[in-house]
Amino acid sequence: MSLLYTGKAKSLYTTENPDELLCVFRNDTSAFDGERIEQLDRKGMVNNYFNAFIMQYLDKEGIPNHFIKQQADDASIVRKLNMIPVECVVRNIAAGSLCRRLGVEAGLELNPPTFEFFLKNDALHDPMVNDSLIIAFKWAKEEQIAQMKQYSFAVNEALKKLFSQAGLLLVDFKLEFGEANGKLYLGDEFSPDGCRIWDAQTKKVLDKDRFRKQMGGVVEAYEEVAYRLGVKIPEVA
């Protein structure tokens, strides 16, 4: 097993199977394109359990993804993908960069939900891109673009329902996709690090905005969401 890639929050290792990787969820938590990084106790474990639960749910909902099995409290085996270097963002409620860019009020309901592509490039602060740029620069093919959009909206429908049953609002989220053997899979992770979740009644923030805005109780909020969704996380690592 050797280290293949260290990202801001996860590390990827090769395994005996050349088609599979070990994905380790670390406690590192970053904001503002990696400008601020802190270690939050238990976060790696909570996100690994959270992600495993969501990926298995999405598989049942017909969305192919890279998750194979959970290997340890803080690590899972995933299918090795050739990642497409764009982030797919779906929004149900206006927040974050949408409000900053367009001057719209935070909390505004977006119906139908919106879709945006961003280039995955911290040095350039993940600029917004579109289909034409993605094709011109060969980041993805036309069919892959269509499939990423279709899967992103399908993830939204599935998770909006799941979260709503737990009294939670899925405000927005970011997905990353990749290809293996000519097939597109959802990769990376789905956890409160990469989405916005509010309590449906109180609108309490239960996601990484607690870290960005230095509100405290970050991992406790992630665990509250996990508990409400029925994700089983051990008390002690």
Rounded Cα–Cα distance for residues 113 and 109 (Å): 9
Query: Is residue 27 at the binding interface for ligand UDP, with CB under 6 A as the rule?
Result: no
Of 160, 169, 230, the closest CA to residue 197 belongs to 169
> For ligand ADP, which stretch binds (CB under 6 A), given 9-17, 125-133, 161-169, 209-217?
9-17
One character per residue 97-126, x = contact with ligand UDP (rule: CB under 6 A):
xx---------------------------x
Helix (H, G, I), strand (E, B) or coil at 127: coil
Contact 175, 188 (CB under 8 A): yes
Positive or negative, the CA dihedral 27, 226, 81, 174 is negative
Can you tell me which of 43, 47, 58, 66 binds ligand ADP, judged by CB under 6 A?
66
Tokens 């970053």 belong to: 30
Least separation in angstroms between CB 236 and ligand UDP: 28
Q: Find the binding residues for ligand UDP in span 130-159 (CB under 6 A).
A: none
195 binds, among ligand UDP, ligand ADP, none (CB under 5 to 8 A by kind): ligand UDP
Least separation in angstroms between CB 100 and ligand UDP: 7
> What's the DSSP call for residue 212?
H
Give the pair of three-digit tokens for residue 168.
């939670």
Residue nearest ligand UDP, CB atom distance: 96
55 binds, among ligand ADP, ligand UDP, none (CB under 5 to 8 A by kind): none
Of 86, 81, 95, the closest CA to residue 148 belongs to 86
Least separation in angstroms between CB 191 and ligand ADP: 10
Q: Are strands 10-14 and 3-6 parallel, antiparallel or unpaired?
A: antiparallel
Of 203, 185, 208, the closest CA to residue 58 belongs to 185
Q: Find the binding residues for ligand ADP in span 163-202 (CB under 6 A).
A: 176, 178, 187-188
Rounded Cα–Cα distance for residues 103 and 97 (Å): 9
Query: Is residue 133 at the binding interface for ligand ADP, with CB under 6 A as the rule?
Result: no
Which spans of this chain sit near ligand UDP (rule: CB under 6 A)? 87, 89, 95-98, 126, 172-174, 194-196, 208
Which spans of this chain sit near ligand ADP (rule: CB under 6 A)? 5, 7-10, 12, 21, 66, 78-81, 83, 176, 178, 187-188
